[in-house]
Amino acid sequence: MFHENFSDDVYRYILDSSFKVFKWSTEVTNKMSSYRGKSDLLIGSFLGFGLAGCLFYLHNRIVRQSASEDLQDSTPKPKVPYPESSSEIQVDLHLQQSQIGTPHYGLQDPQFDGCIYFDYNATTPIYREVYEAMMPFLTKCFGNPSSSHIFGKPCKTALLKARRYVAALINAQSAAENAEEIVFTSCGSESDNRAIDIALIYYYNNIKPNLNDLEKNSLPTVITSAVEHPAVLCYLRALQMQGKIKLEVIGVNEDGFVNLAELSSKLSRTTALVTIMHSNNEVGTIQPIRAVGHSIASFNQREKAGVLFHSDAAQSVGKVPIDVQGLGVDLLTIVGHKFGAPKGIAALFIKKGVKASPMLVGGGQEGGLRAGTLFLMI
Protein backbone atom coordinates (compact mmCIF):
# COMPACT_ATOMS: atom_id res chain seq x y z
CA MET A 1 0.00 0.00 0.00
CA PHE A 2 2.81 2.39 0.89
CA HIS A 3 4.68 1.79 -2.34
CA GLU A 4 1.65 2.63 -4.42
CA ASN A 5 1.34 5.98 -2.74
CA PHE A 6 5.05 6.71 -2.59
CA SER A 7 5.99 9.49 -4.98
CA ASP A 8 8.03 8.04 -7.92
CA ASP A 9 10.62 10.83 -7.64
CA VAL A 10 11.35 10.12 -3.96
CA TYR A 11 11.63 6.44 -4.67
CA ARG A 12 14.04 6.94 -7.58
CA TYR A 13 16.11 9.36 -5.50
CA ILE A 14 16.52 6.86 -2.62
CA LEU A 15 17.50 3.97 -4.92
CA ASP A 16 19.95 6.18 -6.78
CA SER A 17 21.57 7.46 -3.57
CA SER A 18 21.80 3.96 -2.04
CA PHE A 19 23.55 2.70 -5.15
CA LYS A 20 26.03 5.64 -5.14
CA VAL A 21 26.92 5.15 -1.45
CA PHE A 22 27.38 1.43 -1.98
CA LYS A 23 29.70 2.06 -4.97
CA TRP A 24 31.63 4.76 -3.14
CA SER A 25 32.15 2.72 0.04
CA THR A 26 33.30 -0.31 -2.00
CA GLU A 27 35.87 1.84 -3.83
CA VAL A 28 37.15 3.45 -0.59
CA THR A 29 37.39 0.05 1.08
CA ASN A 30 39.30 -1.44 -1.88
CA LYS A 31 41.76 1.45 -2.01
CA MET A 32 42.38 1.39 1.75
CA SER A 33 42.86 -2.35 1.91
CA SER A 34 45.35 -2.36 -1.01
CA TYR A 35 47.44 0.53 0.43
CA ARG A 36 47.38 -0.04 4.19
CA GLY A 37 46.28 -3.55 5.09
CA LYS A 38 43.58 -5.28 7.09
CA SER A 39 42.83 -2.68 9.85
CA ASP A 40 41.98 -0.11 7.16
CA LEU A 41 39.67 -2.62 5.48
CA LEU A 42 37.77 -2.82 8.79
CA ILE A 43 37.52 1.01 9.11
CA GLY A 44 36.36 1.27 5.48
CA SER A 45 33.66 -1.33 6.02
CA PHE A 46 32.42 0.46 9.16
CA LEU A 47 32.25 3.73 7.23
CA GLY A 48 30.31 2.13 4.37
CA PHE A 49 27.85 0.32 6.63
CA GLY A 50 27.37 3.42 8.80
CA LEU A 51 26.44 5.56 5.83
CA ALA A 52 24.12 2.88 4.43
CA GLY A 53 22.47 2.64 7.89
CA CYS A 54 21.87 6.42 7.97
CA LEU A 55 20.31 6.26 4.55
CA PHE A 56 18.10 3.33 5.57
CA TYR A 57 16.88 5.33 8.61
CA LEU A 58 16.07 8.36 6.42
CA HIS A 59 14.34 6.13 3.90
CA ASN A 60 12.09 4.65 6.65
CA ARG A 61 11.18 8.08 7.98
CA ILE A 62 10.10 9.26 4.55
CA VAL A 63 8.03 6.10 3.99
CA ARG A 64 6.28 6.48 7.34
CA GLN A 65 5.61 10.18 6.78
CA SER A 66 4.22 9.40 3.36
CA ALA A 67 1.96 6.65 4.78
CA SER A 68 0.69 8.97 7.49
CA GLU A 69 -0.10 11.76 5.02
CA ASP A 70 -1.79 9.23 2.80
CA LEU A 71 -4.09 8.10 5.63
CA GLN A 72 -4.90 11.69 6.61
CA ASP A 73 -5.86 12.37 3.03
CA SER A 74 -7.98 9.26 2.80
CA THR A 75 -10.67 10.66 5.10
CA PRO A 76 -13.64 10.78 2.74
CA LYS A 77 -14.51 14.12 1.26
CA PRO A 78 -18.16 13.90 0.35
CA LYS A 79 -19.64 16.37 -2.08
CA VAL A 80 -21.75 17.76 0.76
CA PRO A 81 -19.09 19.10 3.16
CA TYR A 82 -19.19 17.93 6.74
CA PRO A 83 -20.41 20.56 9.19
CA GLU A 84 -17.65 22.21 11.19
CA SER A 85 -19.53 24.93 13.08
CA SER A 86 -23.12 25.66 14.01
CA SER A 87 -23.55 28.22 11.22
CA GLU A 88 -22.13 25.77 8.68
CA ILE A 89 -24.53 23.13 9.94
CA GLN A 90 -27.51 25.20 8.84
CA VAL A 91 -26.09 25.53 5.33
CA ASP A 92 -25.13 21.89 5.32
CA LEU A 93 -28.59 20.78 6.37
CA HIS A 94 -30.07 22.80 3.54
CA LEU A 95 -27.62 21.32 1.03
CA GLN A 96 -28.26 17.83 2.22
CA GLN A 97 -32.05 18.02 1.95
CA SER A 98 -31.73 19.09 -1.67
CA GLN A 99 -28.90 16.78 -2.72
CA ILE A 100 -30.00 13.43 -1.37
CA GLY A 101 -31.02 10.84 -3.87
CA THR A 102 -28.65 10.15 -6.75
CA PRO A 103 -29.21 6.41 -7.33
CA HIS A 104 -26.17 4.17 -7.38
CA TYR A 105 -25.14 1.67 -10.04
CA GLY A 106 -27.46 -1.11 -8.73
CA LEU A 107 -30.41 0.31 -10.61
CA GLN A 108 -28.45 0.30 -13.87
CA ASP A 109 -27.63 -3.42 -13.78
CA PRO A 110 -28.77 -5.21 -17.00
CA GLN A 111 -30.77 -7.76 -14.97
CA PHE A 112 -33.15 -4.91 -14.01
CA ASP A 113 -33.64 -3.63 -17.60
CA GLY A 114 -37.24 -2.54 -18.05
CA CYS A 115 -37.91 -2.60 -14.27
CA ILE A 116 -38.76 0.38 -12.13
CA TYR A 117 -37.93 0.11 -8.43
CA PHE A 118 -40.84 1.44 -6.36
CA ASP A 119 -40.08 -0.14 -2.98
CA TYR A 120 -38.10 2.65 -1.30
CA ASN A 121 -39.93 2.06 2.00
CA ALA A 122 -38.42 -1.42 2.13
CA THR A 123 -34.96 -0.15 1.25
CA THR A 124 -33.17 2.17 -1.15
CA PRO A 125 -30.24 1.61 -3.50
CA ILE A 126 -26.98 2.99 -2.12
CA TYR A 127 -26.65 6.55 -3.36
CA ARG A 128 -23.64 7.29 -5.52
CA GLU A 129 -22.23 9.93 -3.15
CA VAL A 130 -22.63 7.52 -0.20
CA TYR A 131 -20.72 4.84 -2.10
CA GLU A 132 -17.92 7.28 -2.90
CA ALA A 133 -17.67 8.49 0.70
CA MET A 134 -17.50 4.88 1.95
CA MET A 135 -14.77 3.61 -0.39
CA PRO A 136 -11.70 4.71 1.65
CA PHE A 137 -13.04 2.72 4.61
CA LEU A 138 -13.25 -0.45 2.57
CA THR A 139 -9.65 -0.03 1.42
CA LYS A 140 -6.82 1.94 2.96
CA CYS A 141 -8.54 3.54 5.96
CA PHE A 142 -9.01 0.29 7.86
CA GLY A 143 -7.93 1.31 11.37
CA ASN A 144 -9.96 0.95 14.54
CA PRO A 145 -11.34 4.40 15.47
CA SER A 146 -10.53 3.64 19.12
CA SER A 147 -6.80 3.21 18.34
CA SER A 148 -4.68 6.25 19.14
CA HIS A 149 -2.02 5.58 16.44
CA ILE A 150 -1.93 6.91 12.88
CA PHE A 151 -4.12 4.13 11.53
CA GLY A 152 -6.90 4.84 14.02
CA LYS A 153 -6.86 8.64 14.08
CA PRO A 154 -8.31 9.37 10.62
CA CYS A 155 -11.07 6.82 11.34
CA LYS A 156 -11.88 8.53 14.63
CA THR A 157 -12.05 11.90 12.88
CA ALA A 158 -14.30 10.53 10.15
CA LEU A 159 -16.56 8.93 12.75
CA LEU A 160 -16.96 12.20 14.63
CA LYS A 161 -17.79 13.98 11.38
CA ALA A 162 -20.37 11.32 10.49
CA ARG A 163 -21.95 11.64 13.93
CA ARG A 164 -22.16 15.43 13.63
CA TYR A 165 -23.55 15.06 10.15
CA VAL A 166 -26.41 12.84 11.39
CA ALA A 167 -27.01 15.16 14.36
CA ALA A 168 -27.26 18.15 12.00
CA LEU A 169 -29.69 16.27 9.75
CA ILE A 170 -32.22 16.04 12.60
CA ASN A 171 -31.25 19.38 14.21
CA ALA A 172 -29.98 17.78 17.41
CA GLN A 173 -28.65 20.29 19.90
CA SER A 174 -25.25 18.56 20.13
CA ALA A 175 -24.59 18.82 16.37
CA ALA A 176 -22.25 21.77 16.91
CA GLU A 177 -20.28 19.87 19.55
CA ASN A 178 -19.47 16.16 19.59
CA ALA A 179 -22.95 14.99 18.60
CA GLU A 180 -23.01 12.62 21.55
CA GLU A 181 -26.81 12.45 21.29
CA ILE A 182 -26.35 10.13 18.29
CA VAL A 183 -25.60 6.48 19.00
CA PHE A 184 -24.94 4.33 15.95
CA THR A 185 -26.73 0.98 15.85
CA SER A 186 -27.07 -1.86 13.35
CA CYS A 187 -30.69 -1.45 12.21
CA GLY A 188 -34.01 0.23 12.87
CA SER A 189 -35.23 -2.73 14.90
CA GLU A 190 -32.28 -2.40 17.26
CA SER A 191 -32.88 1.35 17.68
CA ASP A 192 -36.59 0.78 18.38
CA ASN A 193 -36.06 -2.08 20.87
CA ARG A 194 -33.29 -0.26 22.70
CA ALA A 195 -35.25 3.01 22.87
CA ILE A 196 -37.98 1.13 24.74
CA ASP A 197 -35.44 -0.50 27.10
CA ILE A 198 -33.78 2.85 27.80
CA ALA A 199 -37.15 4.42 28.69
CA LEU A 200 -38.05 1.58 31.05
CA ILE A 201 -34.73 1.69 32.88
CA TYR A 202 -34.99 5.49 33.04
CA TYR A 203 -38.42 5.05 34.64
CA TYR A 204 -37.11 2.69 37.33
CA ASN A 205 -34.08 4.88 38.11
CA ASN A 206 -35.54 8.37 37.87
CA ILE A 207 -39.35 8.33 37.98
CA LYS A 208 -40.50 5.47 40.19
CA PRO A 209 -38.59 6.62 43.32
CA ASN A 210 -40.68 9.84 43.31
CA LEU A 211 -44.10 8.15 43.01
CA ASN A 212 -46.54 7.55 45.88
CA ASP A 213 -47.05 4.03 47.25
CA LEU A 214 -50.14 3.34 45.16
CA GLU A 215 -48.39 4.42 41.95
CA LYS A 216 -45.30 2.43 42.87
CA ASN A 217 -47.40 -0.74 42.86
CA SER A 218 -48.37 -0.40 39.19
CA LEU A 219 -46.33 -1.55 36.23
CA PRO A 220 -44.77 1.14 34.01
CA THR A 221 -47.18 1.96 31.18
CA VAL A 222 -46.17 2.33 27.53
CA ILE A 223 -48.55 4.08 25.12
CA THR A 224 -48.26 3.36 21.40
CA SER A 225 -50.38 3.25 18.24
CA ALA A 226 -51.92 0.26 16.49
CA VAL A 227 -49.99 1.00 13.29
CA GLU A 228 -46.42 0.88 14.58
CA HIS A 229 -43.77 -1.25 12.88
CA PRO A 230 -43.36 -4.73 14.46
CA ALA A 231 -39.96 -3.57 15.82
CA VAL A 232 -42.04 -1.48 18.26
CA LEU A 233 -45.38 -3.26 18.52
CA CYS A 234 -44.16 -6.87 18.73
CA TYR A 235 -41.43 -5.95 21.19
CA LEU A 236 -43.96 -4.16 23.41
CA ARG A 237 -46.36 -7.12 23.23
CA ALA A 238 -43.51 -9.43 24.27
CA LEU A 239 -42.73 -7.20 27.27
CA GLN A 240 -46.43 -7.13 28.14
CA MET A 241 -46.63 -10.94 28.03
CA GLN A 242 -43.59 -11.16 30.30
CA GLY A 243 -45.46 -8.98 32.81
CA LYS A 244 -42.94 -6.14 32.53
CA ILE A 245 -45.22 -3.35 31.26
CA LYS A 246 -48.82 -2.27 30.97
CA LEU A 247 -49.51 -1.58 27.29
CA GLU A 248 -51.98 0.98 25.92
CA VAL A 249 -52.53 0.77 22.14
CA ILE A 250 -54.24 3.81 20.56
CA GLY A 251 -56.32 3.28 17.42
CA VAL A 252 -56.10 5.35 14.24
CA ASN A 253 -58.78 6.92 12.02
CA GLU A 254 -59.48 6.02 8.36
CA ASP A 255 -56.49 8.13 7.23
CA GLY A 256 -54.17 6.41 9.67
CA PHE A 257 -53.84 9.31 12.14
CA VAL A 258 -53.66 8.63 15.87
CA ASN A 259 -56.37 10.10 18.05
CA LEU A 260 -54.63 12.85 20.02
CA ALA A 261 -57.40 13.27 22.58
CA GLU A 262 -57.40 9.53 23.33
CA LEU A 263 -53.61 9.55 23.65
CA SER A 264 -53.61 12.52 26.07
CA SER A 265 -56.31 10.91 28.18
CA LYS A 266 -54.12 7.83 28.73
CA LEU A 267 -51.15 9.75 30.14
CA SER A 268 -50.46 9.16 33.82
CA ARG A 269 -47.58 9.53 36.26
CA THR A 270 -46.80 5.85 35.77
CA THR A 271 -46.43 6.27 32.00
CA ALA A 272 -42.80 5.52 31.20
CA LEU A 273 -42.97 6.03 27.44
CA VAL A 274 -45.11 7.18 24.54
CA THR A 275 -43.86 5.78 21.22
CA ILE A 276 -45.51 6.97 18.01
CA MET A 277 -43.92 6.58 14.57
CA HIS A 278 -43.21 9.63 12.40
CA SER A 279 -44.24 8.26 8.96
CA ASN A 280 -46.05 5.02 8.48
CA ASN A 281 -44.21 2.42 6.39
CA GLU A 282 -47.40 1.00 4.79
CA VAL A 283 -49.61 4.00 4.00
CA GLY A 284 -47.25 6.96 4.48
CA THR A 285 -49.34 8.88 7.02
CA ILE A 286 -47.18 11.44 8.82
CA GLN A 287 -48.33 11.57 12.43
CA PRO A 288 -48.80 14.87 14.32
CA ILE A 289 -45.61 14.29 16.30
CA ARG A 290 -45.16 17.93 17.27
CA ALA A 291 -48.63 18.00 18.81
CA VAL A 292 -47.99 14.72 20.67
CA GLY A 293 -44.68 16.13 21.95
CA HIS A 294 -46.41 19.29 23.10
CA SER A 295 -49.13 17.35 24.89
CA ILE A 296 -46.54 15.20 26.72
CA ALA A 297 -44.44 18.24 27.69
CA SER A 298 -47.55 20.00 29.13
CA PHE A 299 -48.50 16.87 31.04
CA ASN A 300 -44.99 16.47 32.46
CA GLN A 301 -44.93 20.07 33.58
CA ARG A 302 -48.41 20.01 35.08
CA GLU A 303 -48.08 16.67 36.89
CA LYS A 304 -44.35 16.84 37.64
CA ALA A 305 -44.08 13.60 35.65
CA GLY A 306 -41.25 12.26 33.50
CA VAL A 307 -42.93 10.61 30.51
CA LEU A 308 -40.41 10.05 27.69
CA PHE A 309 -41.34 10.36 24.02
CA HIS A 310 -39.90 8.14 21.27
CA SER A 311 -40.63 8.39 17.57
CA ASP A 312 -39.67 5.81 14.96
CA ALA A 313 -38.60 8.06 12.09
CA ALA A 314 -37.22 5.21 9.94
CA GLN A 315 -39.36 6.29 7.01
CA SER A 316 -38.88 10.03 7.47
CA VAL A 317 -35.25 10.95 8.08
CA GLY A 318 -33.61 11.93 4.78
CA LYS A 319 -37.00 12.24 3.10
CA VAL A 320 -38.82 14.96 5.05
CA PRO A 321 -37.23 17.56 7.35
CA ILE A 322 -36.90 16.35 10.93
CA ASP A 323 -36.23 18.71 13.82
CA VAL A 324 -35.95 16.79 17.09
CA GLN A 325 -35.93 19.99 19.15
CA GLY A 326 -39.09 21.31 17.54
CA LEU A 327 -40.86 17.95 17.74
CA GLY A 328 -40.10 17.56 21.45
CA VAL A 329 -38.90 13.97 21.18
CA ASP A 330 -36.48 12.38 23.66
CA LEU A 331 -35.61 9.39 21.48
CA LEU A 332 -35.72 9.01 17.70
CA THR A 333 -34.98 6.09 15.39
CA ILE A 334 -32.96 6.76 12.22
CA VAL A 335 -32.40 4.05 9.58
CA GLY A 336 -29.66 4.52 6.97
CA HIS A 337 -30.78 1.99 4.35
CA LYS A 338 -34.07 3.85 3.95
CA PHE A 339 -32.19 6.82 2.47
CA GLY A 340 -29.20 5.66 0.50
CA ALA A 341 -26.88 3.99 3.03
CA PRO A 342 -26.08 0.27 3.08
CA LYS A 343 -28.04 -2.13 5.28
CA GLY A 344 -26.61 -2.53 8.77
CA ILE A 345 -26.40 1.18 9.55
CA ALA A 346 -28.84 2.99 11.80
CA ALA A 347 -28.82 5.33 14.77
CA LEU A 348 -30.73 6.24 17.87
CA PHE A 349 -31.04 9.86 18.96
CA ILE A 350 -31.02 10.15 22.75
CA LYS A 351 -31.68 13.68 23.95
CA LYS A 352 -29.09 15.23 26.25
CA GLY A 353 -30.25 14.83 29.84
CA VAL A 354 -31.95 11.47 29.30
CA LYS A 355 -29.70 9.25 31.39
CA ALA A 356 -29.44 6.22 29.18
CA SER A 357 -28.21 2.79 30.21
CA PRO A 358 -25.79 0.79 28.02
CA MET A 359 -27.35 -1.25 25.23
CA LEU A 360 -24.22 -3.39 24.79
CA VAL A 361 -21.51 -3.66 27.40
CA GLY A 362 -17.86 -4.03 26.46
CA GLY A 363 -15.17 -1.71 25.18
CA GLY A 364 -16.94 1.55 26.00
CA GLN A 365 -17.56 2.68 22.42
CA GLU A 366 -20.43 5.08 21.59
CA GLY A 367 -20.01 7.01 24.82
CA GLY A 368 -20.25 3.74 26.78
CA LEU A 369 -23.77 3.11 25.47
CA ARG A 370 -23.11 0.53 22.76
CA ALA A 371 -19.89 -1.43 22.86
CA GLY A 372 -18.28 -2.96 19.80
CA THR A 373 -15.93 -1.73 17.09
CA LEU A 374 -18.02 0.24 14.68
CA PHE A 375 -18.68 -0.64 11.08
CA LEU A 376 -17.07 2.45 9.56
CA MET A 377 -19.37 2.53 6.54
CA ILE A 378 -21.42 4.81 8.79
312 binds ligand PLP (CB under 6 A): yes
Strands (E), the chain: 182-185, 221-225, 246-250, 271-275, 308-312, 331-335, 346-350
Interface mask toward ligand PLP for 116-155; x: CB under 6 A: ----------------------------------------
From the CB of residue 318, how many other CB atoms can be counted at a distance below 10 Å? 24
CB of 333 to ligand PLP, least distance (A): 6
Only segment of 1-9, 188-196, 242-250, 292-300 that touches ligand PLP (CB under 6 A):
188-196
Count residues near ligand PLP (CB under 6 A).
13
Q: Which is nearer to ligand PLP, 314 or 350 (CB)?
A: 314
Per CB under 6 A, the list member of 335, 341, 369, 378 interacting with ligand PLP is 335
Torsion on CA atoms 273, 190, 168, 85, rounded to nearest 10: 110
Structure letter (DSSP) for residue 220: P
192 binds ligand PLP (CB under 6 A): yes
Contacts of 14 (CB under 8 A, 6+ apart): 55, 59, 62
Q: Which is nearer to ligand PLP, 124 or 189 (CB)?
A: 189
Contact in structure between 197 and 232 (CB atoms under 8 Å): no
Only segment of 47-55, 164-172, 185-193, 301-309 that touches ligand PLP (CB under 6 A):
185-193
CB of 191 to ligand PLP, least distance (A): 8
Q: Which is nearer to ligand PLP, 44 or 336 (CB)?
A: 336
By the 10 Å C-beta count (0-12 exposed, 13-18 middle, 19+ buried), 152 is classed as middle
Residues of span 315-334 touching ligand PLP by CB under 6 A: 315
Q: Which is nearer to ligand PLP, 186 or 300 (CB)?
A: 186
Contact in structure between 219 and 244 (CB atoms under 8 Å): yes
Rounded Cα distance between 217 and 74, Å, is 57
Rounded Cα distance between 180 and 247, Å, is 31
Q: Residue with the closest Cβ to ligand PLP? A: 188
User: What is the DSSP annotation of 6-47?
Assistant: S-HHHHHHHHHHHHHHHHHHHHHHHHHHHHH-HHHHHHHHHH
Residues of span 337-356 touching ligand PLP by CB under 6 A: 346
Contacts of 333 (CB under 8 A, 6+ apart): 188, 191, 192, 195, 310, 311, 312, 313, 314, 346, 347, 348, 349
Per CB under 6 A, the list member of 125, 145, 188, 318 interacting with ligand PLP is 188
Q: Which is nearer to ligand PLP, 53 or 344 (CB)?
A: 344
229 binds ligand PLP (CB under 6 A): yes
Per CB under 6 A, the list member of 45, 174, 281, 300 interacting with ligand PLP is 281
By the 10 Å C-beta count (0-12 exposed, 13-18 middle, 19+ buried), 9 is classed as exposed
CB of 192 to ligand PLP, least distance (A): 6
277 binds ligand PLP (CB under 6 A): yes
314 binds ligand PLP (CB under 6 A): yes
Residues making contact with ligand PLP (CB under 6 A): 187-189, 192, 229, 231, 277, 281, 312, 314-315, 335, 346
